[in-house]
Structure 1
């Protein structure tokens, strides 16, 4: 909900960066709006196509975050420029920032530096939500860049390299990350390298892990995600190559996730402690379902999830069909209050496993690209 007393700025593909950013005279770029933003600003981005490869550095406060809002969900589309100079479509360094409702489309690469990240955020308490990120690091040049010096890449990354903590990645659809039929342990769907949360995301067709935690990751909530067709692990819980800390990844909750048809299901790696809780996950149909070195899985559902329509390449309907073993099989503990589409949880006797909560009143089609 946007406070009535918030400061408002406006961005339009028909605007000009010399404008003041009012509704009548919008600026042209999100980067210019960020230069004008202050705590409590809502940056309204009109439907249209915008060139990516920019950085936002302005910070909000806990009480007054800066919100970058696509006014029509998914209609503000960010694409590569003609001569890319950045590895990130959107590089956010600001703390207390919300990025909400965009499409990051790296599919039309036109030259220069290939994108390795859709959204890269390192601001403490930053949030990336309701955003579609796809076709990142899709060609050979991008993979060479990702592998140079262990650079890596991701659809969405929350990082502690510049000190960021408590980053939330929620309600996003992330797919086609890395070239088809390639395996990489450096390029992932959602990559969290700090304390934070990964909630309600739909992730598929990724050359590395669907959800990967590494570097300074610890005390992470990984809840109600649906992950399929990752060529690494569906979910990797780990830490190592530390930036700011040296302790293990510990005290995390990994619950209510649907991990299906990946090379590996849920895996631990690197430095992990004994207090990570793996409960009420559906893990099935992966070449290897579990690889836990220290932790123990509890209340696992090991059965076909029974999607409405499964297509491993995308374009399916990844809600739960009637009779799915994931229905009511999750745990209420720490579960998000709503699902990927905003449906309230629970709808029936219990929480459903995965990004979608089954509802008889939900829209009739949830097909995704």
Structure 2
């Protein structure tokens, strides 16, 4: 993980030592720009623990003498033994031409809009335009903005395992907003449904503030491979999606767009109003989607158990969707107990299922069916359900090849009625390795086509606080867990469900959490 610190140290520029990019952008204004007659130095500093600091100094020798960057380096690098600055660029800052300033002003304004979704403040614009016109790399401005508290709060949800890149178009939603507003940060929308009508362009992010929002929405617009559409709860699980007072849909969120990411929401089906009850949490029929870091719970608990089915997360090939990633979600208390039709994570296409915690599901915690093929399933924890996993194909939409090229590794499948089960049509290229499969009362593993699971751990995972009935069981591993260091690096996600790095030195752990 990179940390960046941007410092203006030239006493001839405002006599200001800024230890925060937020301060730098807000406080370093035209007065400093007007007197910038020296040399701009742009440094990066690397050291132990992969700490990386970008240092921007404006004086003739920013690393020497009192009041220089040395003090800031020592402070910033505390704990990073051996950290050394490396000069990236040195640029003489003479008085630039008016045309150069005009061009730089346009570039800086566009950068602010792209990264922060707003115009720059006057002081920041004047300062950076003068610096860029004098030869300071635009990348230095970008580094400063990216290290600001404002950027971090926008682009990294607390506790999230997914980082959202800057997008050219941004809309905002808040419980205190208005659907007649412009959808800007200063004038946000009030509802997800209104934002869904506005987020029509590739390269759009919808930032949703903490609060409660009516679900039953449908998103249909698509991004592209280089410009996705992102829906982001600015605080992980802070934006709660609940049934409306009168529901006309059986789902919380129906996405049909391609290249759409849905990140960090709490989908809570506990309190149904009148009308149609939810049987689906987040459903996507699009391609190249991502459903990450969400909490989907108490969905379809009181519905009739019928073959119409349902799921907390549904990834569907019916509309020819392919390659969606389901990463880092918590799914629990889904469907009527013992109902075989309501699933946890239900996949009928290609993609990945990684780092998810799924428990207390009436049917199957993780279920592949219909046209599912080419799916990677790693580092999930599936417990206290009817089935832990079902891998198979049947009731086909567009193909009859069956579930093949399925890679199942590093998963904990524990305390279900059935463990891992191949059913329907399956292929010979499926791989099952390094899974902990234990205490599934009917059987632990049932594979087809002569396949054999390898490197299986058949022991209690020794969770920190597990109970089938506890409101929030603790599925973290104790230090005695046999899951520690018994996984494989192949297809493992780089972090665990908490965002903690998987540890190649001590070994990859099995399950959703790295100890």
- Give the TM-score normalised by structure 1: 0.92
What residue is the counterpart of 1:256 in the other structure? Answer: 410
- Structure 2: give runs of 5+ residues left out of the alignment: 1-162
From the superposition, tell whether residues 86 and 353 of structure 1 become closer, same or farther in structure 2 (CA, over 3 Å).
same
State the Cα distance separating 1:73 from its structure 2 match.
0.7
From the superposition, tell whether residues 198 and 4 of structure 1 become closer, same or farther in structure 2 (CA, over 3 Å).
closer
For 2:505 and 2:468, how far apart are their aligned partners in 1?
28
For 1:30 and 1:224, how far apart are their aligned partners in 2?
32
For 1:256 and 1:161, how far apart are their aligned partners in 2?
29
For 1:109 and 1:217, how far apart are their aligned partners in 2?
31
Equivalent residue in structure 2 for 1:281, among 435, 444, 463: 435
1:85-123 CA-to-partner distances (Å, cap 9, x unmatched) read 101101011110000000000000112111001101111
What residue is the counterpart of 2:460 in the other structure? Answer: 304
The 8 Å contact of residues 328 and 348 in structure 1, kept in 2 or not, is answered as no
1:337-362 CA-to-partner distances (Å, cap 9, x unmatched) read 1100111112642110000001xxxx
Aligned CA RMSD, in angstroms, stands at: 1.1
What residue is the counterpart of 1:83 in the other structure? Answer: 246
- Give the TM-score normalised by structure 2: 0.67
Matches for 1:1-369 after TM superposition, within 5 Å: 1-37=163-199, 38-139=201-302, 142-144=303-305, 147=306, 150-179=307-336, 182-231=337-386, 233-287=387-441, 288-294=443-449, 295-314=451-470, 315-346=472-503, 348-358=505-515
Q: Greater strand percent: which structure?
A: 1
The 8 Å contact of residues 143 and 178 in structure 1, kept in 2 or not, is answered as no
State the Cα distance separating 1:46 from its structure 2 match.
0.7
For 1:6 and 1:317, how far apart are their aligned partners in 2?
40
For 1:278 and 1:237, how far apart are their aligned partners in 2?
11
State the Cα distance separating 1:239 from its structure 2 match.
0.6
For 1:98 and 1:212, how far apart are their aligned partners in 2?
21
State the Cα distance separating 1:34 from its structure 2 match.
2.0
The 8 Å contact of residues 489 and 504 in structure 2, kept in 1 or not, is answered as no
What residue is the counterpart of 1:361 in the other structure? Answer: none
For 1:217 and 1:2, how far apart are their aligned partners in 2?
28
For 1:87 and 1:74, how far apart are their aligned partners in 2?
21
For 1:143 and 1:249, how far apart are their aligned partners in 2?
29
For 2:192 and 2:452, how far apart are their aligned partners in 1?
45
For 1:128 and 1:221, how far apart are their aligned partners in 2?
15
1:274-313 CA-to-partner distances (Å, cap 9, x unmatched) read 1000000000011111111223201100001011111112
- Structure 1: give runs of 5+ residues left out of the alignment: 359-369
SS at match of 1:210: strand
SS at match of 1:73: coil
